Amino acid sequence: MTMKTIQDKLIYSMDAANEPAAVISSGDTICFKTNDCFNCQLRSESDPIGEMDWDHINPATGPVFVEGAHPGDALQVEILDIETDSCGIMCAMPDNGILGDLVTEESIRLLNVADGKVHFNDKITLDCDPMIGVIGVAPAVGAISCGTPDTHGGNMDNTRIRKGAILYLPVFHEGALLAMGDVHAVMGDGEIMVTGVEINAHITVRVTVLPEHAVSTPLLMDKDFCYVISSDENLEKAIYNATLTMNKIVRDRLSMSLNDAGMLMSAAGHLKICQVVDPKRTVTFAMPRKILPSLL
């Protein structure tokens, strides 16, 4: 049986009005062929960044209509594999990122990615740790640019959304309309200059509907941790919401009071920054699975 592959179907905002690129059943394994965040517009280190078509960046491949996904369900997305291309892209731009005020001229770096390594320069190689920057469903209301993260997912830039992880997304509309893109061969938490090692990729996922498992914000689980992911207009709000949502989950799953769950989180949980450069900021609250075995 050949796996269904979604390719050449790009969206620039997540929106219930998007035409499905494919229809799948709950439990299906499918492949998404994704473009880098610049939509392959930068192919040389001397390309002028300003001349890109900025209306067609941050593409996501999809969306995929998942049969049987109804509002109020959760969509379980198991990341089975992420295979990257051999050319990664990074850039620095004036007024972009945390140090943007100090960047006087733009630069683009094309980085060779081979044998599990990113060749940063003659002296420095980085281990690849591919992750998905943009992944989400049609939001509850209206259209949200693929560059923006929110409760539907989107541009969360969470380094833990990688092979072996399981993401749980809210379902707001029939079919959920799952889409993804913006893979990084590797990215540091924070993504301080606005790019990780941006790269084209093949992502293989298994998608399963979990009926009547309403989740209010994306949740994630890997071998060692359960995570809540929260995005908001500033870090303080994102931190509050991630912490509150995890506190509710710990209270519920471990039958604890707010205080006890809070103290447990304060002793054993980890609040981490995902990114601080997108239109909303994203943080994640991690609890060890030794303490909190599962989220749902």
Residues of the shown chain interacting with Zn ion in the complex, contacts defined by CB under 5 A:
37, 133, 182, 198
CB 226 within 8 A of CB 295: yes
Q: Which residue is nearest to Zn ion (CB)?
A: 37
- By beta-carbon proximity to Zn ion, the closer residue of 29 and 39 is 39
CB of 259 to Zn ion, least distance (A): 39
Q: Does residue 157 bind Ca ion (CB under 5 A)?
A: yes
Positive or negative, the Cα torsion across 141, 146, 152, 155? negative
Nearest of 294, 19, 17, 39 to residue 181 by alpha carbon: 39
CB of 38 to Zn ion, least distance (A): 9
Q: Which helix (H) or strand (E) holds 226?
A: strand 225-232
Contacts to Ca ion from residues 84-143, by CB under 5 A: 133
155 binds, among Ca ion, Zn ion, none (CB under 5 to 8 A by kind): Ca ion
Cα dist from 283 to 97, 113, 246, 258, 286, whole Å: 17, 28, 12, 21, 10
Residue 120: alpha-carbon gap to chain centroid = 23
CB of 133 to Ca ion, least distance (A): 3
Q: Does residue 155 bind Ca ion (CB under 5 A)?
A: yes
Cα dist from 89 to 46, 121, 163, 205, 206, whole Å: 12, 13, 21, 24, 28
CB of 110 to Ca ion, least distance (A): 18
Q: Does residue 231 bind Ca ion (CB under 5 A)?
A: no
Stretch that binds Ca ion, among 100-108, 155-163, 234-242, 263-271 (CB under 5 A): 155-163
- By beta-carbon proximity to Zn ion, the closer residue of 129 and 182 is 182
Whose structure tokens read 């850039």? Answer: 91
Q: Does residue 182 bind Ca ion (CB under 5 A)?
A: yes
Per CB under 5 A, residues contacting Ca ion are 133, 155, 157, 182
